[in-house]
Amino acid sequence: MKLKFIFLFFIFFLVLISCRKEIKSEKGGIDIISNVYFDASKGLSKMQSFHLSRMNYSGELMIELVPDLEFPEITTASYFIRDSVFYDLNNNTSTVLSELQKKKKPTSVYAKTIGAVFTKDPLLNYRNRRKLSDTVLFKKNYKRFEINSPWNYTRYYIYPTDTILPYSLYKEAEKDYQGRIERIDSYDKKKDIFVTLQLIPRKNWDHTAKEIFEFNNFVNNRKSE
pLDDT of residue 12: 38
Q: Which residues pair with 187 in a beta bridge?
A: 153, 194
pLDDT of residue 8: 38
Question: Could you list the mean pLDDT of each consecutive 10-residue stretch along the chain, which spans 225 residues?
Answer: 42 40 86 96 92 95 95 95 94 92 94 92 92 94 96 96 90 92 96 96 95 93 73
pLDDT of residue 225: 60
Residues 178-199: tens digit of each pLDDT? 999 999 999 999 999 999 999 9
Calpha distance 13→57 (Å, rounded): 35
Q: Which residues pair with 157 in a beta bridge?
A: 144, 183
Q: Which residues pair with 29 in a beta bridge?
A: 56, 202
**Cβ–Cβ < 8 Å for 208, 184:** no
